[in-house]
Amino acid sequence: MANSPQADSPSPSRRVTLIVSLIAVLMIVMPFLFWRSTWFGRQLSDEQITEYLADEEAPRKAQHALSQISDRVARGDASVRQWYPRILTLADHRLPKMRTTVAWLMGQDNQFEDFRAKLRQMLEDPEPVVRRNAALSLVRFNDNGGREELLAMLGPFTVEASHAGILTNRLEEGDPVDQGTLLARIAVDASDEPAELRSPLPGVVGKRLLGDGAEVSVGDRITVLGPSPEHIFQALRGLYLVGKPEDLDAIRPYLRPRDDMSVEVFNQARLTADQIRDRASQATRGSK
């Protein structure tokens, strides 16, 4: 007797088993694929690095390649210089995240003067996080060209309106923020979605300068952010090497323990202040 169509199809219980098994596989495979695409530790060949750096549609690939290049610079691998021309080009990339990564990478090779010259240009970048990475990288060249930016990392940062319209704040004073955190919305037109005002830096909402319903113009001061502990710490490390006696006023607030300040920041502030004073004292003795 020939088998009926019903006999060839899987039973309901078997179909359920297959579906459950497929879901289980996807739960394992999908996170792995996501992790593989975002993890920068996976080793790339020279050919892959070249390919990734040239891929304009997948900036994560370029960042992966830059991370690998940085690791090889740290190991003293001179072959990475083959990609330096492309890295200098990426310093002008349209995406701030790419420019931020490039500014960090260029500080890894403080023997390449073209990097130093480019980092000085990047101190004029419109994005503060790019400027800050450029200033920190210049320190590795023993270049104090980014000293003013390092000092700015110790103080508040004012966020300005990017659009004109009616303001609605999202956060309260004292709320912590990360880079990209939504600070407020600005209703440009009643028929359109409001524009988003996002934090360009990590920190804490120190003061809201305008209340909900305020009519704002482009460039109006909206929110003052207090500095993040990590940026304070990195700025102090940079000033340890390039700071001047007149910078001590900016460092002084961190020389006293506070509940909102880590021990690491306090200790680094003391080390930095002592080093600046010692450097100034040696310079005075040397001039006599």
Instruction: Please check the confidence at residue 32 and state whether its pLDDT lies above 70.
Output: no
Q: How far apart are CA 49 and CA 67, in angstroms?
A: 10
Instruction: Please check the confidence at residue 38 and state whether its pLDDT lies above 80.
Output: no
Helices 128-139 and 229-242: crossing angle, nearest 10°?
A: 40
Which of 14-23, 164-173, 185-194, 217-226 is predicted with the least confidence, judged by mean pLDDT?
Answer: 14-23
Beta strands, E only, the chain: 157-160, 165-169, 176-177, 182-187, 195-198, 203-208, 215-216, 221-227
Alpha-carbon distances, residue 188 vs 47, 164, 168, 169, 214 (angstroms)? 47, 6, 11, 14, 12
Q: Cα 181 from chain centroid? A: 13
Q: How far apart are CA 275 and CA 268, in angstroms?
A: 10
Give the side-chain half-sphere CA count within 13 A for 87: 30
pLDDT averaged over every residue in the chain: 88
* Stretch 161-165: mean pLDDT: 94
Phi, psi of 83 (to 5 degrees): -100, 0
For residue 30, what pLDDT is reported?
44
For residue 283, what pLDDT is reported?
79
Phi, psi of 203 (to 5 degrees): 165, -145
pLDDT band at 56 (very low <50, low <70, confident <90, very high): confident
Which of 33-37, 135-139, 143-147, 210-214 is predicted with the least confidence, judged by mean pLDDT?
Answer: 33-37
